[in-house]
Amino acid sequence: MGTIVKFGALAAVIVFALFLAVVAGDYGPWYFAWLVGTTMIILISVAGAVMFETQLTINEDRRL
């Protein structure tokens, strides 16, 4: 039951995201760009931090 609910919720989010993308893409190309761009900015910044941790671990391994 829990899985079905999770699936349903995920499906709803995806449908909503698609709907938003279609509407924004059709009527508001710049709004669409903001949605995609901001997500990208956050992801790049998060990836930078994760990479920092990886660099640190490699560092540690070399020192040992």
Partner 1 sequence: MPLIDPNVVDLSRLQFALTALYHFLFVPLTLGLTIMLAAMETVYVITGKQVYKDMTHFWGKLFGINFAIGVATGLTMEFEFGTNWSMYSHFVGDVFGTPLAIEGLMAFFMESTFVGLMFFGWDRLSKPAHLAVTYLVALGSNLSALWILVANGFMQNPQGASFDPDTMRMQFNDFTALVFSPDAQAKFVHTSIAGFVAGAMFVMGISAYYMLRGRHREFAARSFRMAALFGLVSTLAVVTLGDALGRLDYLVQPTKIAAMEGLWHTSTPPSAPWLIAALPNDATQSNSMEIGVPYVLTPLVAHSLNTPIPGLIDLEQANVPRVDNGIKAIAALQQYGETHSATSLATFKQYENDMGYGFLAQRYAPNQDVNLITPALLPSVEQQAVKDSIPNVFVTFWSFRIMMVLGFYFVAIFAFAAYYSLKNQLEKHPMLLKLCMWSIPAPILATEFGWVTAEAGRQPWTVYGWLPTFQSASSHDVGYMIFSLAGFALLYSAFIAAELYLMFKFARLGPDEHGVAAHHSPVDASIAAPIFAKPGFANKSWE
Q: How far is CA 49 from the centre of its chain?
A: 15
Mapped onto helix, strand or coil, the DSSP state of residue 64 is coil
Least CB distance to partner 1 at residue 7 (A) = 18
CA dist 52 and 59 (Å) reads 10
Applying CB under 8 A, does 61 fall inside the site for partner 1? no
Candidate list 1, 5, 48, 64; residue touching partner 1; CB under 8 A: 48
Torsion, Cα 19 21 23 24, to 10 degrees, reads 150
Least CB distance to partner 1 at residue 18 (A) = 19
Residues that bind partner 1 (CB under 8 A): 27-31, 33-34, 37-38, 40-42, 44-53, 55-60, 62-63
